[in-house]
Amino acid sequence: MTIEREEIKKLATLSRLAIDEKTIADVTGRLSSVLALVDQLQNADTESLQEISRPFHTSQRLRNDEVKETDQRDAFQAIAPQTHNGLFSVPKMIE
């Protein structure tokens, strides 16, 4: 399976990556070679098999709804790129 330039652009948008025109051709070639590798999966007979998303069967552990951690907002905001009045600051999103 090969991948087209337009698809790369769409994937970049979905992935929130800014890929310039110059590198698209390069990325297209390399992704196509990886996809050729993973296409080998199509030959596997998996008809009767279930999909497994964990290495072995485990059920999700639940915990009691108790407050255990103290507020660490200041510690986390101290490492943020930009904050304002205790909030995380980002560029304007609505005109």
Partner 1 sequence: MHNYTIAELIKGLQNKEFSSVELTQHFLDRISQLNDNYNAVITITGEQALTAAALADKRLASGDAPAMCGVPILHKDIFCTDGVRTSCGSKMLDNFVPPYNATVVENFARDGAVMLGKTNMDEFAMGSSNETSFYGPVKNPWATDSVPGGSSGGSAAAIAARLAPGATATDTGGSIRQPAALCGISGLKPTYGRVSRWGMIAFASSLDQAGPMARTAEDCAIMLNCMASFDEKDSTSVEQSVPDYTASLGNSVKGLKIGIPKEYFSEGLHPGTELAVREALAELEAQGAELVDISLPSSDLSVPAYYVIAPAEASANLSRFDGVKYGYRCENPKDLQDMYCRSRSEGFGEEVQRRILIGTYCLSAGYYDAYYGKAQQVRQLIQQDFSEAFKSVDLIMGPTCPSPAFKFGAKGDDPVAMYLEDIYTIATNLAGLPGMSVPCGMVEEKPVGLQIIGNYFDEARMLNVAHQFQQITDWHHQAPEAV
Counting contacts by CB under 8 A, is residue 64 touching partner 1? no
Q: What is the CA radius of gyration of the chain?
A: 23
CB of 4 to partner 1, least distance (A): 12
Gap between the Cα atoms of 43 and 1, Å rounded: 14
Counting contacts by CB under 8 A, is residue 39 touching partner 1? yes
CB of 89 to partner 1, least distance (A): 9
Counting contacts by CB under 8 A, is residue 54 touching partner 1? yes
CB of 11 to partner 1, least distance (A): 5
Q: Applying CB under 8 A, which residues contact partner 1?
A: 3, 7-8, 11-12, 14-19, 27, 30-31, 33-42, 44, 46, 49-56, 58, 60-61, 63, 72, 75-76, 78-82, 88, 90-93
